[in-house]
Amino acid sequence: MPDADELRRRVAELTAAHDPATTDRADFLRARFDAGLAWVHFPAGLGGLGAPRSLQTVVDAALEAAGAPDNDPRRIGIGLGMAAPTILKYGTEEQQRRFLRPLWLGEEVWCQLFSEPGAGSDLAGLATRAVRDGEDWIVDGQKVWTSSAHLARWAILIARTDPGVPKHRGISYFVCDMTDPGVEVRPLRQITGEAEFNEVFLTGVRIPDRHRLGAVGDGWRVAQTTLMNERVAIGGGTVPREGGMIGLVAGTWRARPELRTHDLHQRLLGLWVEAEAARLAGERLRQQLAVGQPGPEGSAMKLAFARLNQEISGLEVELLADDGLTYEDWTMRRPEKVDFTGHDAGYRYLRAKGNSIEGGTSEVLLNIVAERVLGLPAEPRTDKDVPWKELSR
């Protein structure tokens, strides 16, 4: 198993053979993947070397110092943070080799077809149906709040395959080709003016059984891997000290002394401390993740991320006074990635409202933390053992 020194040596060999200054970006990324330096903890042949996950930071730092390009992780975050770990854990060897390389390279964008108009917070209540037809499944239904669906080639999809059993046990997990007939993507315009989210209609979409992840009826267990990784990806990202939203507000505070008041100063100090505590907790969470699968602690990080983003963006608008009420552009845009830093304070304030909804609502995450982290009694669930088809909807 390679150690840190071995990984630095491999990075040096890679950059010597493919000089980042002269090598085409796509060619360099392909060489990096094939050298096992994409995900060092993945198996050899799948972009990794079977090394401890914690050593990925060694590789990333060495490549950054060499001026190497990255794979634009914010653009392909759903693939990297949610689809890839699920495919690695539950995919067949054929699925892993087909999907993981173009996913990491950014050649194929992924989206997530989970939430539905009638099954958002209660995801297990989903109604999208998948009916077996020989070696295929025929899928009909509607999904909503789908980030990047307008860009995606592939989607991770959960659908009901057995309505005669309780809701958690009748779900299966699939990979859906977003270019197939019967897949329709419609934009959902947000309060920011953007349409980064979409609703997706599935009408007679044919998915081959070889694109199923996990056993038939075991989709809820497979989906938990996706969801736990999603919450770590949203709330537990690497942030430098005074990075992210708090850094923007602190920068404004230093640059514009005429805006300062005692009350705003006290609030900024409090939020700075909370943001730093959250950052350090995120570091600890990533260390835990490096030695195993993500657990319910990721839900707590995502909760803190949403609350802090909303409070910090609100403080920024107050600090800027009249300037905080301006908004740069209401034209509907179809962005490739969320960019908080590339917009004004008004955008950040509006976009942060979605942080307590996306990736699991704060109310649902509070239940997860209460039950799975604190060990508090579970909420009554009267529909737990009732067949899905008998539930009122």
pLDDT reported for residue 293: 59
pTM of the predicted protein model: 0.86
Rg (CA), the chain: 22
pLDDT reported for residue 292: 57
Task: List the one residue out of 174, 60, 48, 46 whose CA is nearest residue 101.
Answer: 46
Going by their DSSP bridges, the two strands 197-208 and 154-160 should be labelled as unpaired
pLDDT reported for residue 118: 85
pLDDT reported for residue 301: 82
Domain 110-216 carries which CATH code? Answer: 2.40.110.10
CA-to-CA distance for 172 and 186, rounded, in angstroms?
A: 25
Domain at 223-373, CATH from 2.30.38.10, 2.60.300.12, 1.20.140.10, 3.40.190.10: 1.20.140.10
Q: Which residues are catalytic?
A: 230
Q: Classify residue 175 as exposed, middle or buried by CB count within 10 Å of its CB (0-12, 13-18, 19+).
A: buried
Token pair 């983003």: residue:
309
pLDDT reported for residue 121: 75
Contact call for residues 99 and 87 (beta carbons, < 8 A): yes
Q: What's the chain's length in residues?
A: 393
- Where does the chain have alpha helices with state H? 4-17, 25-34, 56-65, 77-78, 84-90, 93-105, 219-235, 244-255, 262-289, 297-320, 345-352, 362-368
Walking along the chain (393 residues) 10 residues at a time, the average pLDDT comes out as: 92 97 97 97 95 90 96 93 95 97 97 90 92 98 94 98 96 98 95 90 98 98 87 62 89 93 95 92 69 67 89 95 80 73 84 84 85 86 86 80
CA-to-CA distance for 124 and 171, rounded, in angstroms?
A: 8
CATH architecture classification, 4-105:
Orthogonal Bundle (1.10)
141: left (phi over 0), alpha (psi -120 to 50) or beta: left
- In the chain, where the domains are located: 4-105, 110-216, 223-373
